[in-house]
């Protein structure tokens, strides 16, 4: 797990950027605190910050060069089938100097070029330089677990793990208006956008080359609905359990300490229970809250007691939020306002005191229909005219301004309002509407007209609930959920592995009929049935809760100092030239009244954006 950066200089002016390479690598020290190094060539330079996981000796350091000196690699990730690939390469005459998966990837790329990506089982981004041909190959894993960003101008091309390292160079800082609109509505920026016009994210499952200063990119892997498997439900349950157990075992290979995140939800409980079968002294880690509506540590404790793990529990308080708030904002490389990222950051920071690698349950909801929106979509296709009338009436009686995730009533009201507004739309528009945290009207109210862009969902066809799962895997999972994990874990030099996102499980899940996953009573049905013998029924079949923090309650007490700060002053807003101050002033009034309603998400998004802007753009 590391940070990587590669530079292709198009001319003499571009070569000047090599002077900033060391600073750029240093800016990603949190991704790789063990070793930071770089190499310069005539028109290409590579840099790497290493977090040592497999073969922690100096033989695993990067940039890694082959024994001829003709090939060089920087790599971020883990290759789980590297031992099998290594045996193949040994049979072909390769002599290895290390036990690292990096060296296996290096020689596989030498032998097979960009076709090597089809052989890899793991998560990764890499930049490979063929000095003889003066050619660069780069790629990102098929699920988008590891990030890769490309910036290009007339002088240079830069490939890097995070946007923050780009700001070490002379770059065009123009804002991408479409990315900004995505961000304000969704709280994240999807690939291929970044917040900068001149930079874009390499999408999951893309491989590219740079030859003669020209970039070429193509898809090597797509997520899609597969033809339905011809298995009975009991056989499918058995097959899924075998696949999950194998995936977890593959992810237990490490030369450093390893544990599991354990929230007490279905997914992390399954991963922890399976891991415990192989690691007798397994350590598990959970985060709780000093607010009863959000705290679920009793469930994680129940699972830990059931499987017999050495459990660590961290309780997050309002004081912790205030103490860590600036540190959290400082780790954000581009605007990202999923508020649960703060809890992930705190959990990663505490976990890193005990282990260097953690397994998580991420990805199961997107594969097996675990979110409330999936069940809501299913129900919405069967809602009668009478029920629509009743839901509409209820939404009017329950005031939209009183929605909240901080109480049972407020959360129920939020769901009624969302359901009512969604039922007025076709299923595709309904899905995207339910993905949004902020309405188009509220975005328009705060953005200057020249910065508003209508969001284009072309390429994401949602005709039914199964389509919505593919859209989640392509859009929400890599850009929100996995971005959050990478951002917060790497800020604390912690590697996180996601067993549910092994492609064998992904492809299997996408070949299952919907009724294997979801019905009116049970979400993630097949996954729960697969592990009924391993976990208590109370864990498997309890009501779904999202991973959330009491943002309204905690922000409420801190809001005055934030709104009085320079970044929300009329002078700052006007000089910035992006937002309408009248719209910002309306939000400030709502913030000071502490009656946020659903505008809390927009307010939080603006706080994160303004803090990011002041750090990188002023």
Annotated catalytic residue 2 = yes
| Count of helices and strands (H, E) across the chain | 26, 17
Mean pLDDT for the chain?
Answer: 91
| Res 294: pLDDT | 76
Domain 233-369+466-540: which topology?
Answer: Rossmann fold (3.40.50)
- Model confidence pLDDT, tens digit, residues 68-107: 999 999 999 999 999 999 999 999 999 998 889 999 999 9
Candidates 573, 484, 413, 475; CA nearest to 204 is: 475
Q: How far is it, in rounded angstroms, from Cα 114 to Cα 487? A: 27
| Pairwise CA distance, residues 137 & 208, whole Å | 6
State the number of CA atoms in the 13 A half-sphere of 36 facing the CB.
15
Catalytic residue among 2, 160, 260, 331: 2
Does position 608 have pLDDT exceeding 70, yes or no? yes
- DSSP reduced 3-state for 599: helix
Percent of the chain past pLDDT 70, that is, above it, reads 93
Nearest to 147 by CA among 409, 618, 484: 484
At 594 the pLDDT is: 67
Weakest-pLDDT range from 70-79, 445-454, 537-546: 537-546
Q: Angle at CA 470, nearest 5°, toward 224 and 384?
A: 125
pLDDT score at 384: 66
Q: Strand, coil or helix: what is 76? A: strand
Q: What values do phi and psi take at 441, rounded to 5?
A: -60, -40
**Is residue 459 very low, low, confident or very high in pLDDT (cuts 50, 70, 90)?**
confident
pTM exceeds 0.85, yes or no: yes
Domains of the chain, by residue range, sit at 2-219, 233-369+466-540, 551-616
Percent of the chain with pLDDT over 90: 70
Q: Which two tokens stand for residue 59?
A: 């033989």
pLDDT score of 546 = 61
**Average pLDDT for 549-578:** 82
Q: Where are the beta strands (DSSP E) in 444-575?
A: 495-497
Whether residue 367 has pLDDT greater than 70 = yes
Tell me the mean pLDDT in the region 265-271: 97
Q: Containing H/E element for 466?
A: helix 465-471
* Residue scoring higher pLDDT (265 or 412): 265
pLDDT at 587: 85
Coil, helix or strand at residue 1: coil
As given in the structure block, the two tokens for residue 370 are: 């675990």
Q: Which of 454, 527, 5 is nearest to 247 (CA)?
A: 527
Is residue 172 a contact partner of residue 196, using CB atoms and an 8 Å limit? yes
For position 520, what pLDDT does the model report?
Answer: 85
Does residue 63 have a cis peptide bond before it, meaning omega lies within 30 degrees of 0?
A: yes
Cα(562)–Cα(603) distance, rounded to whole angstroms? 11
Assigned token pair, 384: 């009668």
**Who contacts 258 (Cβ-Cβ below 8 Å, separation ≥6)?**
252, 279, 355, 356, 357, 358, 359
CA atoms within 13 A on the CB side of 40: 11
What distance, in Å, lies between the first and last C-alpha atoms of the chain? 31
CA distance 532 to 339: 32
pLDDT computed for residue 545 by the predictor: 64
> How far, in Å, CA of 152 to CA of 129, rounded?
18
pLDDT of residue 618: 84
What CATH number belongs to 2-219? 3.60.20.10
Q: Is the pLDDT of residue 493 over 80?
A: yes
- Mean pLDDT to the nearest integer, 151-158: 98
- CB burial of residue 492 (10 Å; 0-12, 13-18, 19+): buried
Q: How many CB atoms lie within 10 A of CB 291?
A: 15
What's the rounded Cα separation, in Å, for the pair 401 and 559? Answer: 19
Total Cβ atoms within 10 A of residue 464: 15
Q: What is the pLDDT of residues 191-204, one digit of tens each?
A: 999 999 999 999 99
Q: What angle do CA 263, 266, 271 make, to 5 degrees?
A: 80
Tokens of 100: 């690292």
401 has pLDDT over 60: no
At 426 the pLDDT is 86
Q: Is residue 548 very low, low, confident or very high in pLDDT (cuts 50, 70, 90)?
A: low
- Quick check: 52 pLDDT over 90? no
pLDDT value at residue 363: 97
Cα angle vertex 338, ends 553, 569, to 5°?
70
Q: What is the pLDDT of residues 188-246, one digit of tens each?
A: 999 999 999 999 999 999 999 999 999 999 999 999 888 888 899 999 999 999 999 99
Distance CA 9, CA 16 (A): 8
Nearest to 101 by CA among 136, 69, 64: 64
Alpha carbon separation from 395 to 375, 439, 560 (Å, rounded): 19, 16, 31
Higher pLDDT, 471 or 565: 471
The closest alpha carbon to 601, from 415, 442, 432, belongs to 442
pLDDT at 253: 86
pLDDT surpassing 90 at residue 332: yes
In contact, 349 and 492? CB cutoff 8 Å: yes
């Amino acid at each position: 797990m590391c940070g990587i950066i590669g530079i292709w200089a198009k001319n003499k002016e571009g070569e000047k950027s090599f002077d900033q390479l060391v600073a750029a690598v240093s800016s990603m020290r949190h991704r790789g605190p063990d070793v930071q190094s770089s190499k310069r060539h005539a028109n290409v330079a590579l840099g790497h910050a290493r977090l040592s996981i497999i073969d922690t000796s100096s033989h695993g350091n990067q940039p890694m060069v082959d024994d001829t000196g003709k090939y060089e690699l920087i790599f971020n990730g883990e290759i789980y089938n590297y031992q099998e690939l290594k045996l193949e390469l040994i049979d072909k005459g390769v002599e290895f100097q290390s036990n690292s998966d990096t060296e296996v990837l290096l020689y596989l790329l030498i032998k097979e070029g960009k076709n090597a990506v089809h052989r890899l089982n793991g998560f990764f981004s890499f930049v490979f330089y063929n000095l003889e041909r003066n050619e660069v190959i780069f790629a990102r894993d098929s699920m988008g677990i590891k990030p890769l960003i490309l910036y290009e101008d007339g002088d240079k091309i830069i490939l890097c793990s995070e946007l923050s390292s780009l700001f070490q160079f002379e770059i065009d800082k123009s804002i991408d208006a479409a990315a900004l609109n995505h961000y304000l509505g969704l709280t994240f920026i999807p690939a291929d956008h970044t917040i900068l016009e001149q930079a874009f994210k390499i999408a999951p499952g893309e491989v590219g080359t740079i030859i003669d200063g020209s970039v070429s990119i193509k898809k090597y892997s797509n997520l899609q609905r597969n033809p339905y498997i011809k298995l009975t439900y009991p056989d499918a349950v058995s097959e899924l359990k075998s696949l999950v157990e194998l995936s977890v075992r593959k992810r237990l290979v490490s030369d450093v300490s390893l544990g599991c995140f354990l929230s007490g939800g279905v997914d992390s409980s399954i991963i922890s229970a399976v891991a415990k079968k192989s690691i007798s002294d397994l350590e598990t880690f959970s985060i709780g809250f000093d607010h009863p509506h959000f705290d679920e540590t009793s469930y994680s404790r129940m699972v830990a007691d059931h499987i017999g793990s050495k459990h660590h529990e961290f309780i997050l308080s309002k004081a912790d939020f205030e103490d860590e708030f600036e540190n959290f904002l400082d780790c954000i490389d581009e605007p990202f306002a999923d508020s649960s990222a703060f809890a992930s950051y705190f959990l990663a920071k505490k976990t890193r005191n005990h282990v260097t690698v953690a397994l998580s349950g991420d990805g199961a909801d997107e594969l097996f229909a675990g979110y409330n929106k999936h069940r809501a979509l299913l129900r919405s296709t069967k809602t009668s005219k009478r029920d629509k009338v009743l839901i509409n009436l209820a939404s009017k009686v329950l005031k939209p301004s009183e929605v909240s995730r901080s109480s049972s009533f407020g959360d129920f009201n939020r769901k009624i309002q969302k359901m009512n507004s969604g039922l007025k739309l076709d299923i595709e528009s309904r899905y995207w509407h339910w993905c949004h945290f902020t309405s188009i009207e509220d975005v328009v109210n705060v953005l200057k007209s020249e910065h508003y862009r209508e969001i284009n969902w072309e390429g994401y066809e949602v005709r039914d609930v199964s389509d919505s799962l593919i859209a989640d895997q392509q859009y929400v999972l890599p850009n929100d959920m996995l971005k959050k994990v990478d951002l917060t874990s790497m800020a604390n030099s912690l590697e996180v592995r996601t067993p549910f996102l092994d492609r064998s499980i992904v492809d299997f899940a996408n070949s299952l009929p919907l009724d294997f996953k979801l019905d009116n009573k049970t979400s993630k049905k097949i996954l729960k049935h697969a592990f009924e013998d391993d976990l208590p029924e109370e864990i498997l079949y309890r009501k779904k809760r999202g991973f959330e923090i009491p943002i309204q309650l905690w922000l409420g007490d801190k809001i005055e100092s934030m709104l009085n700060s320079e970044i929300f002053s009329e002078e700052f807003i006007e000089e910035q030239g992006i937002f309408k101050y009248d719209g910002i002033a309306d939000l400030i009034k709502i913030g000071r009244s502490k009656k946020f309603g659903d505008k809390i998400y927009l307010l939080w998004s603006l706080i994160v954006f303004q803090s990011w802007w002041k750090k990188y753009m002023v």
